[in-house]
Amino acid sequence: MSGPSIVRTQILPVDRPFKFESGGILPRIEIAYETYGRLSEHKDNAILIEHALSGDAHAAFYHEGDKKPGWWDCMVGSGKAFDTDRYFVICSNILGGCKGTTGPASINPDTGKPFGLTFPPVSVRDMVEAQRILLKSFQIEKLKCIAGGSMGGMQAMQFFCDYPSQFESFISIASAIKHSAQQIAFNEVGRRAVMADPRWNDGNYYDGIAPEGGLSVARMIGHITYISEKMMQEKFGRLKKDRDSRAIFRPSFEVEHYLDYQGISFVKRFDANSYLYITNAVDNFDLMASISAKERFRGQGRERGMNIGELRSKKGLVISFTSDWLYPSSQSKDIVRLFTALNVQVSYTDIATEHGHDAFLTDYEKPSEIIRGFLASLG
């Protein structure tokens, strides 16, 4: 039996100015990415995978020496939903991230120090534009599909609408066309936790200790929203790990230890400023407003002017999960209604599960079956 598939993250240097939607400009950027499978001779078998908020370019397979594979290894690989025997799968770290692509922790060439809060505000569309540069480096003119879950679904839909001629289809899993007030509220509490940490120091913490306490709390808040109430009750209930009666205000319940672990793990791999920038980008994402603005600008020489007619004959797949209360099924139904109105042929499935929002990362059997069938229908 052969060993696990090994992959390495690669870096694409972009030695020309990158202009952000906000008007900010960086003289150069770098884009971290990984690929799985082989690009066909006609370059017509490519699929672009988009990661969620805390993800990165390492979607599948193993890095040398890793004990765990990439974050979507259950979905990407030989014979899996995104079958690398058939498709050339690409995944890149988003602009503003902290796992290889240029972000707030990257060095500003003008100062020799990390950008921190001098980094321009990032939008989902900026993330898309960076990925478009990556695709051009492969000389890929049209992709079989673009797919992602949660924030990844937002990127997929934005890219698909901005450049419909570049895709045959899109897949959105557990996502939304815009955040609700509740979703924004959860993100704001997380941002406040980071900024309330004295070590955050207005984003200038790179020469000292990072705001680990604040970022850990932000991650703990996030994890509460990723799991359904029923699953949390079944998994933890009121079990206690520490029965020492003197342990007042120290984690004692199993669920407290779980959240502690998630928070501590997160601060070891993620930059606090990136967390602020990315959650801000997601909160400001509004696909309907974006489409309306693009229609108004059409005919003014803007490359992103959208021709809705181009969406006809395109296909979409939308998947939601019954117990997902962070991105409830009603928001996926909004996606279906929007793209149906744009004449996209949209299929929709609401999968029964008790795993909450995290189901898009853990429940792979039913989604894999649906995605395989969807991709097969593209020919």
Enumerate the active-site residues. 150, 324, 357
Query: Using H for helix, E for strand and C for coil, what is the string for the chain?
Result: CCCCCECCCEEEEECCCEECCCCCEECCEEEEEEEECCCCCCCCCEEEEECCCCCCCCCCCECCCCCCCCCCCCCEECCCCEECCCCEEEEECCCCCCCCCCCCCCEECCCCEECHHHCCCCCHHHHHHHHHHHHHHCCCCCECEEEEECHHHHHHHHHHHHCHHHECEEEEECCCCECCHHHHHHHHHHHHHHHHCHHHHHHCCCCCCCCHHHHHHHHHHHHHHHCCHHHHHHHCCCCECCCCCCCCCCCCEHHHHHHHHHHHHHHCCCCHHHHHHHHHHHHCCEHHHHHHHHHHHCCCCCCCCCCHHHHCCCEEEEEEECCCCCCCHHHHHHHHHHHHHCCCEEEEEEECCCCHHHHHHHCCHHHHHHHHHHHHHCC
**What is d(CA 274, CA 122) in angstroms, rounded to the nearest whole number?**
10
Are 359 and 234 in contact by the 8 Å Cβ rule? The answer is no
- Give the torsion through C-alpha atoms of 213, 59, 228, 324, to 10 deg: 120
Q: Which of 274, 11, 261 is nearest to 151 (CA)?
A: 274
**What is d(CA 47, CA 18) in angstroms, rounded to the nearest whole number?**
24
